[in-house]
Structure 1
Amino acid sequence: MTSTTPAPSDVPVADRLRAQHGAALTLGEDCDLPDDLVIELDTGAHLTTGDRVCIRRGSSIQVHRGATVIIGNDVAIGEHTFISAMAGISLGDGAALSNGVDLRDHSHRVRSAASVPTGQLVPWTSGFEAAPIIIEPGATLLNKVTVTAGVRIGANVLVGANAVVSHSIAPDTGAASVPAAVRRHFDGASVAGDDRRTLTVGFFGTSIMEHLEAFNAQMATQANLPEVGSKVTVEGWHQRGWVHRLALSLRAAHAHVGFDIRNHGEGGATSRDIASLVEADRATSGVDYDLVFLGCGINDVWRRFQNRLTEAVLIEEYTQRINTMLEQLTGYSRQAVVISETPFGPIENPATVAAMNTELASYNEAARKAAAAHGALFLDVWTPFTAVARQLPADDTTGGVWSDGVHLTELGDTVLLQHTERLLAEHRIVEKLLDYPLLERDRALTVYGPLFARYRPAAS
């Protein structure tokens, strides 16, 4: 790694730095740089700044092997600030770092038997893990703020002095404390658009997730609704229900985030069918999910009571199927949630429905155990669902929670929606998913390289 701590001279600092680092350094115009600025660039590293960047005395910038640091236009960096990258760090236009700010996109890996098989007592033997730090345009970090790896700080954010930012912060907010937490929201100034963080969310389940609804454009256009009693043509099917409403809720609560919603629910599917859906999705799309929901079992039971025995899935096979699916899904999903099945309603005579629900409850228990075994969360919607169904008056005119004893009404969908939202809030799932995952440093360079590729000189 090369280093520079130049003594004052008549040669402009920018010219000296360009001469020392060559193509590894791209400096913008009209930058105000101190004589004692320390820049260290390892092999394959690159540092680029925009125009009118101001850096004060005592500051250091380290860019390790293969990593990238980007400093946008009109960025101000205070005294004794330290920036060190093993994956990549980006400061958006107009961002400000006050005195003593510390940005490091990496940390030591734990000294496990796997990472230090020889047991050698050297601090860096275990290696490093890294993830980008992204500071969006207009964000301001006050004195002695520390930012850890994998964090994204939104546009216009103001972080109070001495805070430790260990999780991502939404735009147009003020944050403080250790760890930093949002204390207030404000109407932020308009800033140029930046790359949006997008979370991919998958759903694998039955018609309760799929929830098809007939569609005609005229019926959804308030200014051109069809006349009462007239006929319209079904133009297609849209997915609605609690999954659609959850997607809207996520987008409303996190408008600065993109959500790629992939609903693989399928009407009539048993766990056997859903296992095939999981296999086919991975084989054809290869998508890695940030968050995935899995729910199945109701059709496994229902088919036996319908005397469709070749389609029925007994508890032993169900247990094997859901464990296999979770083993697969947790391998390429950052967070998995198993959602219990809702009980059967008045689909048969009461004694038969009671027997069906007794059996279905055992499938839900198997799902709960499978979730625990694979580090997934388990969402029990059976209890709140039955509570709502039981407490509705007998002459209720809203349609209750079931439309036909299996599929759900809007009220039933709302019960699922509320408890799913509660689970996400209690575990701060979306907030945690907005952090970039820490990866072994070489893998981090490969995975996160595309975030910084356009700022690096083209390979000759």
Structure 2
Amino acid sequence: MTSTTPPLHSAVERLRAEHGPALILGDDCDLSDDLAVEIDPDAHLTLGNRVSIRRGVTIQVHRGATVSIGDDVAIGEHTCISAMVGISIGTGAALSNMVDLHDHNHRARTTEHVPTRQLVHWASGYEAAPIIIGPGAILSDKVTVTAGVRIGANALVGANALVGANAVVSHSIAPDTVATGVPADSRRTFNGAPGPREDPRTLTVGFFGTSIMEHLEAVNAQMTTQANLPEVGSKVTVEDWAQRGWVHRLALSLRAAWPHIAFDVHNHGKGGATSRDIARIVEADRATTCTDYDLVFLGCGINDVWRRFQGRTSEAVDLDEYARHLSAMLDQLSGYTRRIVVVSETPFGPVEDPATVAAMNAGLARYSAAAHVAATAHGALFLDVWAPFTAAARHLADGPAALWSDGVHLTELGDTILLQQAEQLLAEYRIVEELQDYPPLERDAALAAYGPMLTRSRPANA
């Protein structure tokens, strides 16, 4: 019997017939006849214009996932692309031969994950996080990219045949970077060619503390406009208050060091706040904004101690209550924050007579010790700024007056010491580098959390 169904003359026709609206194919694509494409229900694959895919390639788009491949992308032989939440390959990117992109892993076979004790490989379930390959990025032969990684625009991964073969990218790579090794790490950067602007990775950073974090300054636009500064001796009107100090300077430092990342900074510092007040601020922030943080700095205690010496005993917070508040805040923040840094309070400067200041600092040191214990118990980092401050006050010719404007609030030099300590801690633990990765989540949770950032490549009815 002779079939009356016309043959499918190309891979493009075959794929359109097999997958219908679950697949968008651009114009002038060059696809190998043996390209294997699997698209599960509620999944979607988009290939842009002029995409080239060589022989032996497999693309798997599992239930609910999205794979988006931009215009002018080239994919080499025997490459595997497998998504349970989403993979995006930017315009002009190139994947050489035998590249492997898997945005998911098996979860450990724990009793929690396998309550039925089934001896099948899928019983423990999966965890997943998106993979984002930026425009113009190039991945050399046998490069493996793991879940949650973002490779920036123009990056060149595994380029050196001697040290770059079989590179494994397990952490995000910045734009305009050559990266090699297992795990792949930056070897050098270069002046990248201009190209399509990619949506930046956004890191949300929160600060909860006292006036040391809040650091209000009066604002008048004319005071900072170099071309229109007021005359010496003239008067200006305070137009607003702005938050400055070490938090503001750290935010600027982060943006300067990682211009390809968007930092969404929330400064919840509050002048005069005790740990009792800051615990309420943490609770109110969660209740009203539901913000998930990538990084939080938490510091309190100075007002807990100071209020007692001011005779404001009803506002003072004793050490046991302070420890309870700090532990409660860490418990709460740990539920929606990837990294927490507990910052010791800065010591008191010449706010009272020397004997009283010594007694105040002896008390405050005990609060800082309790903060260190609480941080360790909750898996948070502890930033101890006490020693750098006391050393600077001892060695500077003008002593404490150089660090404190009034014995409590910091001068620009005091702010700089705090800034340097924060920057050193971030660098020592590679915190920003670590936070660029998308954290793997249980498969369905990953689809809920990350799906919206990828589904815009789907048509409205898909």
Q: TM-score range by the shorter chain?
A: over 0.9
Per the alignment, residue 458 of structure 1 pairs with: 460
Paired residue for 2:416?
A: 414
- Structure 2 matches for 1:104-119, cutoff 5 A? 104-119=102-117
2: distance between equivalents of 1:441 and 1:119?
20
Q: Give the structure 2 partner of residue 404 of structure 1.
A: 406
Letter paired with 1:98 = S
What is the rounded CA distance, in whole Å, between the counterparts of 1:447 and 1:76 in structure 2? Answer: 29
Quick one: distance in 2 between partners of 1:167 and 1:191? 23
Residue 315 (structure 2) aligns with:
311
- For residue 186 of structure 1, what is the aligned residue in structure 2? 190
Q: Distance in 2 between matches of 1:410 and 1:111?
A: 53
Give the TM-score, by structure 2 length.
0.96
Q: Distance in 1 between matches of 2:53 and 2:199?
A: 25
Tell me the distance in 2 between the aligned counterparts of 1:69 and 1:243: 39
Residue correspondence of structure 1 range 9-48 to structure 2 within 5 A? 11-48=9-46
Q: Is the 8 A contact 2:8 2:14 kept in 1?
A: no
Supply the AA of the counterpart residue of 1:363: Y
- Unaligned stretches of 5+ in structure 1? 1-8
Q: TM-score, normalised by structure 1?
A: 0.96
The residue number in structure 2 matching 1:150 is 148
- Alignment of structure 1 residues 93-112 onto 2, 5 Å: 93-112=91-110
Contact residue 216 and residue 242 of structure 2 kept, 8 A = yes
From 60, 67, 88, the counterpart of 1:90: 88
Partner residue in 2 for 1:384: 388
Find out whether 1:281 has 2:285 as its counterpart. Answer: yes
> Which residue, 31, 46, 49 being the options, matches 2:47?
49
Rounded to whole Å, the distance in 2 between the matches of 1:453 and 1:40 is 18
Cα gap change, 1:10 to 1:312, in 2 (>3 Å): closer
Counterpart Cα distance in 2 of 1:450 and 1:119: 34
Amino acid at match of 2:211: S
The structure 2 residue matched to 1:343, chosen from 337, 342, 347, is: 347
Q: Which whole-Å CA distance do the structure 2 matches of 1:447 and 1:281 have between them?
A: 20
1:298: how far off? 0.3
Instruction: Indicate yes or no: 2:276 matched with 1:272.
Output: yes
Cα offsets for 1:126-168 (capped at 9, x unmatched): 1000000000100000000000000000000000142100000
Q: In the alignment, is the contact (CA less than 8 A) between 2:215 and 2:243 conserved in 1?
A: yes
CA distance in 2, matches of 1:399, 1:301: 21
**C-alpha distance in 1 between matches for 2:75 and 2:290:** 41
Deviation at 1:280, TM superposition (A): 1.0
Aligned length: 450
Q: Structure 1 residue 194: deviation in Å? A: 1.5
In the TM superposition, what is the alpha-carbon distance from 1:90 to its structure 2 partner?
A: 0.4
Equivalent residue letter for 2:363: E
Cα deviation digits, residues 386-415 of structure 1 (max 9, x gap): 11111112x46x941111111111111000
**What value does the CA root-mean-square deviation take over the aligned residues?**
1.1
Instruction: Write the deviation string for residues 22-60 of structure 1: whole angstroms up to 9, x where unpaired.
Output: 111111111001111111111111111000000000110
> What is the identity, as a one-letter code, of the residue corresponding to 1:253?
A
CA shift for structure 1 position 457: 2.8
> Aligned with 1:261: secondary structure?
strand
State the distance in 2 between where 1:43 and 1:180 align: 34
User: Which runs of 4 or more aligned residues in structure 1 lie more than 3 Å from their structure 2 counterparts after TM superposition?
Assistant: none
Residue 448 (structure 1) aligns with: 450
Q: 1 CA distance for matches of 2:455 and 2:148?
A: 18
2:11 is matched by which residue type in structure 1? V
C-alpha distance in 2 between matches for 1:421 and 1:361: 23
Give 1:236's aligned residue.
240
Equivalent position of 2:71 in the other structure: 73
SS of corresponding position for 1:62: strand
Q: Is the 8 A contact 2:39 2:61 kept in 1?
A: yes
Deviation at 1:10, TM superposition (A): 6.0
Please give the per-residue CA displacement for 1:149-193, whole angstroms capped at 9, x wherever unaligned. Answer: 000000000001421000001101110000000001110000111
- Show the counterpart of 1:427: 429
Q: CA deviation at 1:275?
A: 0.8
- Structure 2 portions without partners, runs of 5+: 1-6, 159-164
CA contact (8 A) 2:59 2:81 kept: yes
Report the alpha carbon displacement of residue 123 of structure 1 after superposing the two structures with TM.
Answer: 1.6
The alignment partner of 2:307 has SS state of helix
Residue in 2 that maps onto 1:353 = 357
Match of 1:3 in 2: none
SS in 1 for 2:30: coil
CA distance in structure 2 between the aligned counterparts of 1:376 and 1:113, rounded to whole angstroms:
27
